[in-house]
Structure 1
Amino acid sequence: MAVDKDAAFVLPRGATGFFRPKDGPLPEVDQRTFRAALYEAARAADGHVGEMVQRTYPRTFHTATVHVGTGEFVVLCHAHHPWVAFAQQRREWYTDEFLTPPPWAHTFTDFGFAVLDRALLTAPLAGIDMSVLTRGEWRQVRSYDIHGLGGVLFNAWD
């Protein structure tokens, strides 16, 4: 699943990790599919999978590491939507610390994930369709001084 770089990114319900009980539970990304994609990506990179950390509240994403040569990539997997991003260091939340996806990132698309690139994740919120956000979510965006899409998607707000 590729993300069209020329189309406006539209946030679906649950992108921030917040939900209203009256709207029902948020979708969940299948952990087994992410794990299978991760191991296949590591093989494609001639590397190996390191630590995997399942998300805990209030974080909106799972993390894993892929070791390639002497380097390490942190793979972020959104908990509610099939989005994958890359970072250099493990953090509790991200604002603009994203990497350009490595050449082997395409492996995730074969498993149904959209690989989000650094340009999209650091794009200003003014270019993102965020009409689905509630007042409470907007309050969090302002409170945490979020300016880019990645900060909305890969957060640990409570």
Structure 2
Amino acid sequence: MVFGREQASGLRWVGMGGRLELPRGITGFDLDTAPFDDTLFRRFGAVSHAIARIGRGRIGTLEDCAGQVTPNFHLAELHRPSGTAYLLCNAHYPWVAATLRRPGWMGVPFVDLPEVVTAATMFSDFVFPVALDLNRQPEPDELARLTGGELHQYRYWRKGRADEARLGDVIFNFWD
């Protein structure tokens, strides 16, 4: 599958080996710079239910991360005919990704689900990074907009790991 970066249809499926510009505050640190949209969880719920309908599935639980130290993302449990998947939405920016395992503090491999690809054309205010980019290590210029506090957390949490922190780990994390 090949996805465009941003087309006239409103498609917000980004990446495919290009650069992702991570916005300041996406990690959830330096809350002075991280916007908090109290409607994001509700809108993510609507996106999750649409994704479930498209894939002939249903949403199990929807978990709001507001008021918690970790994680920095909302979670939807997606029951699909082929098995359970999990949708993640960053708490500060409407960036959504999917995984086949329930996320934990060590991260999970991200996947591209067909129903998420279809939903990307319907929700132009959400960004859907491709798994190819979420599963790779960030380039220094992709981290350039992060604050000093965010970069400190990135360096701390990637230290001691067999694999370096991936872009997906920066966007969707359990860092405290």
The TM-score range, normalised by the shorter chain, is 0.7 to 0.9
**2:51 aligns to what?**
41
CA change 1:135–1:35 in 2 (3 A) is same
Amino acid of the structure 2 residue aligned with 1:27: F
Q: Structure 2 unaligned runs (5+)? A: 1-11, 159-163
Q: Percent identity?
A: 32
1:137 corresponds to 2:150? yes
TM-score (ref. length: structure 2): 0.78
TM-score (ref. length: structure 1): 0.86
Q: CA RMSD in A?
A: 2.1
Q: Secondary structure at the match of 1:67?
A: strand
Q: 1:76 aligns with which of 82, 88, 98?
A: 88
1:92 corresponds to 2:107? no
C-alpha distance in 2 between matches for 1:79 and 1:53: 11
The alpha carbon displacement at 1:48 in A equals 0.8
Amino acid of the structure 2 residue aligned with 1:13: R
The residue correspondences of 1:1-158 to structure 2 (distance < 5 A) are 1-5=12-16, 7-21=18-32, 23=33, 26-28=35-37, 30-55=40-65, 56-93=68-105, 95-99=107-111, 101-105=112-116, 106-111=118-123, 112-126=125-139, 128-145=141-158, 146-158=164-176
Q: Structure 1 unaligned runs (5+)? A: none
CA change 1:45–1:154 in 2 (3 A) is same
Number of residue pairs aligned between Structure 1 and Structure 2: 155
